Amino acid sequence: MPIGHNNRIHVMHGVNLDQIGRRDPAHYGGMSFLQLEQAVDAFAVGLDVDARFFQTNHEGEFVEELHRLVNLADAAIVNAGAWSHYSRAIGDALQFAGVPVVEVHLSDVMAREPWRHVSVLSDACVATIAGKGVDGYRDALEILKRELGL
């Protein structure tokens, strides 16, 4: 499929995800952030979708990217890191993002500390995938492909 038609998927990472190579490998698997993005891109190529990538450690920048999302992409994957558990600002922005979004967490948040059991983003997402490591992103791409009717 030609690039940039109806298969653009914005892969958005939030706070501390750029540091996963330095974080607990029991939760995050020990790969670098670059390796994570490359693996997701390889999944996207295999699924014939066009993945684009964004990461910031600044909540306002993440919100502003969500404001732009409808003009940038046809769907999105969001791993907002710790913001997932308390940022009503990101939750509100997702409500009017205008494209389908799947929430992904590398780690099994439900098996970790209680404060990670709550996501204030999931209501605005078509699905939430957690605890499958990088493979969770492939699942998310497949869900979004179906959502887009591809």
Beta carbon nearer to ligand DQA, 55 or 107? 107
Find the binder of ligand DQA among 9, 36, 90, 106 (CB under 6 A): 106
Closer of 116 and 145 to ligand DQA (Cβ): 116
| Residue recorded with tokens 């653009």 | 8
Contacts of 75 (CB under 8 A, 6+ apart): 8, 9, 10, 99, 100, 101, 102, 144, 147, 148
What is d(CA 101, CA 111) in angstroms, rounded to the nearest whole number? 23
The whole-angstrom separation of Cα 91 and Cα 46 is 30
Query: Cβ 49 to ligand DQA, closest distance in Å?
Result: 21
Report the 10 Å Cβ neighbour count for 22.
Answer: 12
Q: What would the x/- binding string for ligand DQA be over residues 40 to 79, using CB under 6 A?
A: ---------------------------------------x
Count of residues in contact with ligand DQA, rule CB under 6 A = 10
Closest to 46 in 3D by CA, of 149, 139, 147:
139
Given 47, 53, 56, 116, the residue binding ligand DQA (CB under 6 A): 116
Nearer to ligand DQA, 70 or 110 (CB): 110
User: Which one-letter amino acid corresponds to residue 16?
Assistant: N
Least Å from the CB of residue 136 to ligand DQA: 8
Q: Which of 78, 90, 109, 141 binds ligand DQA (CB under 6 A)?
A: 109
